[in-house]
């Protein structure tokens, strides 16, 4: 174990995490920014691009999601895209400077008949020199092994919120189902991307529970996406927010969540994900100060609008940020059984 990894704790208590949330805002930000600098280059932000390779018609009932068949969001269901069309999307993302291509499918889980095409897509995108990430719902150990064998770099599967709030948002699967898939992904040697959504009407205690779940996994996720709810009309949560605008998360509380995630998971990439489009430049700047160091680029997420390359380029210029070119500090190539800190991370310490 390196000195760097020795400073990584997986025994956080809820009380400790709650105490971080309770710090005066400037003190919390200072601590998060200090931790960030110990493990990352603070002026670099990773660029990732999303593509929905199978949209809508999902049998799950996630209360935030425009793609659930039970939502009345107007999103049309499509079939799994052709390999060639996906590769075209990846080429465009690469040209736009993106390091990673993240592909999402609106599935509860992939069917066996889908796997050969998925494997072909992973191999194709990798051959173009991009990192690959997929989010396809629940995976069996065997499916995770197939994806690892294909060379998939990352798998995204969010715990979404704290365990106590989970069944208020989703009823068609439970928290343990999510954790089981994360374990299958980890055991297959694929890097784990797992985070959640802030602003779904949860309490601060739920946000504490959310960070606690991730920060006490045997190994922290390599990437932690923090989404701000994008309220979509026709979904239970979108409609709830339309009725009770006061339920909308306060920007400062959102930044606090990013900062606490950074402190508890020092080496992970913390990704400022959905909801950036409606965030002010100042709030985004606070998120970067609080340790967020990855974003989704382009003008579309999966179905929701995103900030767009021009506005991001302008924001980066204003803030003096640049796209990350090196590797994530925790990234494991070809599987990891611990002790994965790279030379990049060591160098970042100066
Ligand atoms: N079906 C797969 C699954 O649920 O794991 C993959 C796709 S799903 C869209 C990926 C993640 O996007 C969700 O877990 C959720 O955290 C996030 N997400 C979906 N809709 C969102 C919304 N309206 N606002 C913010 N985040 C959202
Ligand atoms: C994640 O945590 N955020 C991304 C990614 N993982 C797949 C997805 C955000 C989706 C936002 C809503 C939409 O585009 O439909
Ligand atoms: Fe389906 Fe994923 Fe949307 Fe849930 S979040 S409804 S599993 S696409």
pLDDT tens track for 282-302: 999 999 999 999 999 998 999
Q: Is 336 a catalytic residue?
A: no
350 pLDDT higher than 70 = no
Q: Is 287 a catalytic residue?
A: no
Ligand approaching nearest to the C-alpha of 181: 1
Q: Is 62 a catalytic residue?
A: yes
Please choose from 301, 303, 308 the residue to mutate so as to test ligand 2's pocket, defined by most ligand atoms within 8 A of CB: 301
Q: Write the pLDDT tens digit of every residue in 64-81.
A: 999 999 999 999 999 999
CA neighbours within 13 Å on the CB side: how many for 311? 17
Cα(273) to centroid(ligand 2), Å: 7
Whether the CB-CB separation of 324 and 288 falls below 8 Å is answered with no
For residue 338, what pLDDT band results from cuts at 50, 70 and 90?
very low
6 pLDDT higher than 70 = no
Mean pLDDT across the stretch 248-264? 95
Residue 346: its pLDDT value, please? 37
Q: Write the pLDDT tens digit of every residue in 175-209.
A: 999 999 999 999 999 999 999 999 999 999 999 99
For residue 337, what pLDDT band results from cuts at 50, 70 and 90?
very low
For residue 138, what pLDDT band results from cuts at 50, 70 and 90?
very high
Mean pLDDT across the stretch 227-254? 89
Q: Which of the residues 31, 48, 100, 133 is marked catalytic?
A: 133
Q: Which of the residues 48, 58, 264, 287 is marked catalytic?
A: 58
Q: Write the pLDDT tens digit of every residue in 97-131.
A: 898 999 999 999 999 999 999 999 999 999 999 99
What DSSP assignment string belongs to 140-191? -HHHHHHHHHHT--EEE---BS-TTTHHHH--SS-HHHHHHHHHHHHHTTPE
Please choose from 51, 65, 172 the residue to mutate so as to test ligand 3's pocket, defined by most ligand atoms within 8 A of CB: 65
Q: Is 340 a catalytic residue?
A: no
Mean model confidence pLDDT for the chain = 92
């Amino acid at each position: 174990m390196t000195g760097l990894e020795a400073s990584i704790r997986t025994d956080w208590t809820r009380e400790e995490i709650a105490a971080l949330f309770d710090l005066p805002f400037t003190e919390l930000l200072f601590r998060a920014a200090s931790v960030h600098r110990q493990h990352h280059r603070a002026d670099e932000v990773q660029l990732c691009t999303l593509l929905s390779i199978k949209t809508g018609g999902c049998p799950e009932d996630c209360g935030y999601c425009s793609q659930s068949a039970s939502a009345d969001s107007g999103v049309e269901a499509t079939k799994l895209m052709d390999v060639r069309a996906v590769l075209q999307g990846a080429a465009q993302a690469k040209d736009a400077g993106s390091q990673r291509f993240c592909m999402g499918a609106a599935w509860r889980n992939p069917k066996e008949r889908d796997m050969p095409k998925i494997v072909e897509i992973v191999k194709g995108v990798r051959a173009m020199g991009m990192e690959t990430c997929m989010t396809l719902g629940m995976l069996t150990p065997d499916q995770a092994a197939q994806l690892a064998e294909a060379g998939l770099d990352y798998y995204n599967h969010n715990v979404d919120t704290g365990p106590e709030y989970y069944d208020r948002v989703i009823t068609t699967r439970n928290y343990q189902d999510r954790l089981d898939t994360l374990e299958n992904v980890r055991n297959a040697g694929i890097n784990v991307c797992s985070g959640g959504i802030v602003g779904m009407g949860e309490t601060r205690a739920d946000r504490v529970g959310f960070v606690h779940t991730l920060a006490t996994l045997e190994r922290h996720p390599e990437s932690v996406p923090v989404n701000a709810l994008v309220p979509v009309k026709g979904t239970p949560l979108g409609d709830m927010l339309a009725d009770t605008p006061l339920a909308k998360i306060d920007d400062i509380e959102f930044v606090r969540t990013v900062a606490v995630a950074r402190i508890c998971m020092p080496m992970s990439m913390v990704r400022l994900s959905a909801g950036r489009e409606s965030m002010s430049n100042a709030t985004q700047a606070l998120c970067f100060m609080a340790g967020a160091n990855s974003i989704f680029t382009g003008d579309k997420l999966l179905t929701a609008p995103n900030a767009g390359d021009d506005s991001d380029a302008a924001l980066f210029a204003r803030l003096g940020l640049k796209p990350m070119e090196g590797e994530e500090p925790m990234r494991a190539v070809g599987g990891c059984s611990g002790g994965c800190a790279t030379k990049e991370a060591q160098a970042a310490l100066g």
